[in-house]
């Protein structure tokens, strides 16, 4: 894999892994992490469409772009309605550059599949915490964000199952 491809995959992995590391303590925390994760999924999947030759990887990547794009739009609408700031791309790129990642000697398809499993496990953890949060009606958008998280859980579980199948089909060497 060339340096350009690794750099972009590293950025996408850094973005996706940055989202699931802490509890969804506030509405702002959840929005920040969910938006970062969604954008990372889309960017990693765009790269997969460019770099992969595998039909199953490309089909999964297209689904990620569509599903996470819709989820990001819905999240942005809830955030806007409740005056919750959504991080911009510049902030997310800065976060990614601050991450130090190990470079693995594996094919792009294996790296992408492994990243998708990890990212979706972390997303599920984040969304389950938000879905099970006891809401305080005084917290901006807490009830709506809890409902959003509950609504997204089945799709994230489906994505994780599919990512695990990709991982099995494209093992690291």
Answer whether residue 136 shows pLDDT above 90.
Answer: no
Model confidence pLDDT, tens digit, residues 89-127 = 666 645 543 443 333 456 888 988 988 999 899 999 999
C-alpha to C-alpha distance for 40 and 26, rounded to whole angstroms: 21
Confidence tier at 61 by pLDDT (50, 70, 90): very high
CATH number, domain containing residue 126: 1.20.1260.10
Confidence tier at 71 by pLDDT (50, 70, 90): very high
C-alpha to C-alpha distance for 120 and 67, rounded to whole angstroms: 13
Helices (H), the chain: 3-18, 27-51, 55-81, 89-98, 108-131, 142-169
Give buried/exposed letters for 125-153 (b at 16+ CB in 10 A, else e): bbbbbbbebeeeeeeebbebbbebbeebe
Confidence at residue 8, expressed as pLDDT on a 0 to 100 scale: 52
Answer whether residue 20 shows pLDDT above 60.
Answer: no
pTM of the model: 0.77
The residue range of the domain holding 66 is 3-169
How many structural domains is the chain composed of? 1
């Amino acid at each position: 894999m060339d340096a350009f491809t690794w750099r972009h995959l590293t950025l996408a992995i850094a973005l996706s892994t940055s989202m699931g590391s802490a509890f969804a303590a506030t509405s702002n925390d959840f929005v920040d992490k969910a938006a970062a994760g969604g954008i990372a999924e889309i960017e990693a999947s765009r790269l997969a469409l460019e770099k992969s030759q595998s039909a199953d990887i490309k089909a999964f990547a297209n689904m990620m772009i569509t599903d996470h794009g819709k989820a990001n739009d819905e999240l942005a609408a809830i955030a806007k309605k409740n005056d919750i700031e959504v991080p911009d791309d510049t902030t997310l790129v800065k976060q990614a550059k601050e991450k130090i990642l190990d470079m693995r000697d594996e094919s792009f398809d294996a790296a992408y599949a492994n990243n998708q499993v990890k990212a979706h496990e972390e997303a599920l953890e984040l969304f389950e915490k938000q879905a099970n949060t006891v809401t305080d009606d005084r917290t901006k958008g807490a009830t709506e964000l809890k409902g959003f998280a509950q609504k997204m859980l089945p799709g994230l579980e489906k994505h994780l199952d599919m990512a695990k199948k990709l991982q099995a089909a494209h093992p690291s060497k």
